[in-house]
Structure 1
Amino acid sequence: MTEQTTLDVDVRTEFGKGFARRLRAAGKIPAVLYGHGTEPVHVALPGHETALIVRHANAVIELKIEGKAQLALVKDVQKDPVRQIIEHIDLIVVKAGEKITVDVPVVVEGESFAGTIVNQDATSLSLEVEATHIPENVVVNVEGLEDGTHITAGQVELPKGATLVTDAETLVIGITTPAAPVEDEAEAGTEAPAEEAAAE
């Protein structure tokens, strides 16, 4: 399950790129919290703690805003493409016990039958889960699976309480045997000129 962390945050009343730059220089990250029909709340998150939290998919944070606690799901993290500095975060209001739809990473474990390769077509599955019980990932075990085996989303074992939203027929894993390299033709091609030269 995703870990839940509590952060003390500041409400922002200033906006714009210049203010955002000053905020980041002070070690904070600008963010906006919205959802459940509430007015968007612009906040500043503590930089270091937030950076550690958002490394995990679907992180849920308990925000302390002016003394009041509010659960929030990290929806989107915008980074500078070059420096990879977090520039802005979108947060969604969630409530304990509420069901939400999230994309959960697929992790492949085990080794397929000797000589085969594992093709992973889907890197994540959409699941409906409780906001405070979001799984970090779903695991697909390919140990010993042979050529031609397919695993669809509907065949993946889901964590307790999770419901599959992705189409059940979506291909997640395919096991194949790589085609053997065609060496005979290549060798014949290199030998032909030598034979012709000998005939001359």
Structure 2
Amino acid sequence: MNAKDAPKIEVKVREKLGSRYAARARKEGLIPAVIYGHKKGPVSVVADGKELIGILQKSAHLIDIVVDGKSEHCVVKDMQWDYLGDTVIHVDFERVNLAEKVAMEVDLELVGEPKALSAAGAFLDHPLAQIEVECRADSIPEKIVLDIAELTEEKAITIADVKLPAGVTAKTDAETIVAQIKIAKEEVVEETTEEGAEPEVVGKDAKEENAE
């Protein structure tokens, strides 16, 4: 994302700190946050919840944050969620220089339908949802799109196979598997007789009847 395309949000400095005041801010529709880095002291702020969530949902990594009328380039370094895992309750922002390199987790999007999935028992295994990359702060991709249409059962796709934009390098280990096709093995269940059950003897009943 270019700096000129970075979303902008205005925040307010938090005068009162502590969990009680943070909880009160959340009830008012605000999200507590902290801005730190670049040899400046940390600043505790609050942002409009709907506006901030809207920016985060667009996978925006570089954000212009306006504090007391001054704009600062920041990246999202951490987000805290509530105990249900569906509501953001705190965000950490780090100040950045647009020309410096930063390491970020970027979403991975798989596209395409491999023909190999039509085989009996075949399924797609994709353990990674994000890739850690390093690049200039003004060149962080919103997401990495990977075409898996040619994926076969014989060869998995690893980080080394992922094509990244110019100036972007992967920090995740090159041998890490991104996607592969596996075949589910059928589980063989052996039939067993109940313990202690007497095996049936053919002709036994007939002999007993004749003996009576």
Q: TM-score, normalised by structure 1?
A: 0.84
- What's the counterpart of residue 209 of structure 2? none
- What's the counterpart of residue 50 of structure 1? 52
Between stretches 131-140 and 40-49, larger displacement belongs to 131-140
- What's the counterpart of residue 156 of structure 2? 150
**Unmatched 5+ stretches in structure 2:** 194-198, 204-212
1:168 and 2:174 aligned? yes
**CA offsets 1:87-122 (integer angstroms, 9 cap, x no match):** 211111112222111111222211221213221132
Decide whether the 8 Å contact of 2:105 with 2:131 is kept in 1. Answer: yes
Within-5 A mapping of 1:1-200: 1=1, 4-57=6-59, 59-82=61-84, 84-112=86-114, 113=116, 114-115=118-119, 116-182=122-188, 186=190, 189=191, 197=200, 199=202
Q: Aligned-residue CA RMSD in angstroms?
A: 2.6
Decide whether the 8 Å contact of 2:76 with 2:91 is kept in 1. Answer: yes
**Unmatched 5+ stretches in structure 1:** none
- The count of corresponding residues between Structure 1 and Structure 2 is 194
Moved over 6 A (4+): none
Shift in Å at residue 190 of structure 1?
A: 7.4
Counterpart of 1:108, as a letter, is L
Partner SS, residue 40 of structure 1:
strand
Shift in Å at residue 57 of structure 1?
A: 3.9
Q: TM-score, normalised by structure 2?
A: 0.80
- What's the counterpart of residue 206 of structure 2? none
**CA offsets 1:33-75 (integer angstroms, 9 cap, x no match):** 0011210011111121011112244532211111111011111
Taking a change above 3 Å as real, the CA distance of residues 161 and 8 of structure 1, as seen in their structure-2 partners, is: same
The CA distance in 1 between the partners of 2:85 and 2:156, in whole Å, is 40
Decide whether the 8 Å contact of 2:7 with 2:60 is kept in 1. Answer: no
Decide whether the 8 Å contact of 2:6 with 2:60 is kept in 1. Answer: no
Partner SS, residue 138 of structure 2:
coil
Counterpart of 1:125, as a letter, is I
Partner SS, residue 9 of structure 2:
strand
Shift in Å at residue 197 of structure 1?
A: 4.1
Decide whether the 8 Å contact of 2:151 with 2:157 is kept in 1. Answer: no
Partner SS, residue 7 of structure 2:
strand
Decide whether the 8 Å contact of 1:58 with 1:102 is kept in 2. Answer: no
The CA distance in 2 between the partners of 1:135 and 1:176, in whole Å, is 30
The CA distance in 2 between the partners of 1:57 and 1:143, in whole Å, is 25
